[in-house]
Structure 1
Amino acid sequence: MKRDRILRKIIPTFAEEHLKPPSEAFATLVRAVIGQQVSRRNAEAIWERFNNAFASPATPADVLALEVAALQQMGMPKRKAEYILDLALHFKERKVNPESWQDMDDEAIIRELCAIRGIGRWTAEMFLIFNLHRADVLPLDDAGLIRAISQHYYSGEPVSRFEAREVAQAWTPWCTVATWYLWRSLDPIAESE
């Protein structure tokens, strides 16, 4: 990353910012599912309504006590509500084992998470970044990352995944760090909250 002249300019601008400590794995995944394919503002509003529905941080059992309609009233589409209930069921029935994730490599965790309905590669990568704080995650399906690479490295011209991967080769083994700073450069509050 030291050789990347773009990041050398961006990083000092946000040097005082950092990722927040992770939430519980379940909460992080619920928040990631809520955030799929919606604006940050909409995701934050739904997340706030979700949190307000519980006296303390929601557990899988708490969520399973709700009906799809209750989740829909929080602003979630029916399918997303079903995904969150399925996620809660996976945690409650111990079909996922968060305790083992620290010892697993990134791709193994992605495979385990993608076995849950409603969780795809992007969601799993966001989990690796924001919950497990993995250092070398390159979320090529993230529109914000692609937009930042386009803006900073290609003068706003469209960028393919291949081109983005080429730029990111210089960041290994710190792709997560580079990605985070590039997100910051687009929207200084979007990813640190």
Structure 2
Amino acid sequence: MPRYRRGHDVDAAHAHLLRVDRRLAGWMRKLGPLPAMPEWRKAFDPVDALARAILFQQLSGKAAATIVGRVEAAIGSKRLHFDTLGRVDDATLRGCGVSANKTLALRDLAAREQDGDIPDLRRMSLLDDGQIIAALTPVRGIGRWTVEMMLMARLGRPDVLPVDDLGIRKGAQRVDGLQDMPSPRQLLERGERWGPYRSHASRYLWRIADFDGTARAPTPRSQE
């Protein structure tokens, strides 16, 4: 049986945060409840998701989507894996607009997949957050933040706080009325009271960072 199921109880998370943090609670009431993320119920392929995360790095969404489309056409598949990426050489990937560093990262990911180093969903259901981070961050081009986005948006893990994320830090700055954004270490300490629902607090902090008093769509985040 899996130890960790995809998704978590957002109602319980909401009630907990209202109870433990008066300042955050004021913003939560202003913004309203946040629903469960639809990605928690969607089919999810970790290797493909990581490959796409690599391709999207440091690019606008439109530019990255164009490059992904070219790669899919070149490999003849919408599934980015060892077997499909192996159908083309590096020069072809470069011709699709994939940088040299990203090409190396895709090759490293594919090689680690072939060696069995990338856990699938079944294996991830038996691993805690730290174990998943430890398994995926050795991949070239995959840092802790990328894995944290996967943990939150795809796996629905309840207690993730991406302290290096600028949106999260800006949101915390607004909640506490600070002159400067808190450092990652300060944010980690500040967020202790939000556990075991720090993911839900993070989602609010993103929305607080975006809030300008008018109704508008929130900024798209990685893997949402």
Same fold (TM over 0.5): yes
Partner of 2:198: 175
Structure-to-structure mapping, 1:13-162, within 5 angstroms: 15=34, 18-20=37-39, 21=42, 23-53=44-74, 54-98=76-120, 99-155=122-178, 157-162=180-185
**CA-to-aligned-CA distance 1:142-168 (integer Å, 9 cap, x gap):** 222223223443356232112222332
Larger Rg: 2
Distance 1:163 1:36 in 2: 27
Distance 2:38 2:205 in 1: 14
The answer to whether the Cα contact below 8 Å between 1:83 and 1:118 also exists between their aligned partners in 2 is yes
Distance 2:112 2:58 in 1: 22
Unaligned ranges ≥5, structure 1: none
**CA-to-aligned-CA distance 1:69-124 (integer Å, 9 cap, x gap):** 33333333211121012111211232223231111111111111122222221222
Distance 1:172 1:16, change over 3 A: closer
Distance 1:151 1:38 in 2: 27
RMSD: 2.7
The answer to whether the Cα contact below 8 Å between 2:37 and 2:153 also exists between their aligned partners in 1 is no
Size of the aligned set, in residue pairs, is 192
Shift in Å, 1:27: 1.6
- What is the identity percentage for the equivalent residue pairs of Structure 1 and Structure 2? 27
Structure-1-length-normalised TM-score: 0.81
Which moves more between the two structures, 146-155 or 98-107? Answer: 146-155
The answer to whether the Cα contact below 8 Å between 2:67 and 2:96 also exists between their aligned partners in 1 is yes
**CA-to-aligned-CA distance 1:5-53 (integer Å, 9 cap, x gap):** 25423551x6357242352111211122223344445444434444454
Distance 1:51 1:10 in 2: 43
Amino acid at match of 1:30: A
Partner of 2:25: 5
Which moves more between the two structures, 143-152 or 60-69? Answer: 143-152
